[in-house]
Structure 1
Amino acid sequence: MCQIFARQDPVGYTPVTRRLRLNGQSTSIRLERLFWDILDDIARSEGLSTPAFVSKLHSEVLIAAGEAANFTSLLRCTCIIELRRRQPIAFAAE
């Protein structure tokens, strides 16, 4: 089983930093390429650019929680939730 994970393409876990604006403030977010790919897919499905989607998510988190503590972790979890939403049977079996 570990071979599935151990032999993955390193390009997927290469960190990528993107600069964008969150609520009008310029910032940088560093995530692994695979997470950016998933965020790009989510944004596209919402009819938004990735920066617009991430900014919208950030705003909604501020409204819901009052703060966006560890926002990069929230983005990673967003990706996992999206993958579970796409493939509920595969994740339910685990």
Structure 2
Amino acid sequence: MEAVGYGSPVKRSVLIAGHPTSISLEPIFWRALEEAARERSRPVNALVAEIDAARIAAQSPPNLTSAIRQWLFARALGG
């Protein structure tokens, strides 16, 4: 098993529906998000927009960063 590379959150800008927003994620989450986008053959911005749309539709929507982490964790669990 590979050791976890602990790191501080890194802030990046993404476009959602043409609007820039900043997201702070730890490097391991950025790598997982980039991998998920590659597997779906779409840009990271498009995947983040999809996660954001699902987040907004939730009964009690979390903030976007939290939604991304939860989406990635569910994906890692096979969900």
Q: TM-score range by the shorter chain?
A: 0.7 to 0.9
1:19 equivalent among 13, 16, 21: 13
Distance in 1 separating the partners of 2:61 and 2:17: 12
Higher-RCO chain (CA-CA 8 Å, sequence separation at least 6): 2
Post-superposition shift, 1:16? 1.1
State the TM-score, normalized to the length of structure 1.
0.68
Q: CA RMSD in A?
A: 2.4
2:65 equivalent among 65, 69, 72: 72
Q: 1:59 corresponds to which residue? A: 53
Distance in 1 separating the partners of 2:66 and 2:72: 10
2:5 equivalent among 4, 9, 21: 9
Report the identity percentage. 29
Q: 2:39 corresponds to which residue? A: 45
Structure (1/2) with the larger helix percentage: 1
Post-superposition shift, 1:56? 2.2
Post-superposition shift, 1:67? 7.5
Larger radius of gyration: 1
Q: Assess, with a 3 A threshold, how the Cα gap between structure 1 residues 43 and 77 changes in structure 2: closer, same or farther.
A: same
Amino acid at match of 1:85: G
Q: Please list every run of 5 or more consecutive structure 1 residues that lacks an aligned counterpart in the other structure.
A: 1-6, 87-94
Q: Assess, with a 3 A threshold, how the Cα gap between structure 1 residues 58 and 8 changes in structure 2: closer, same or farther.
A: closer
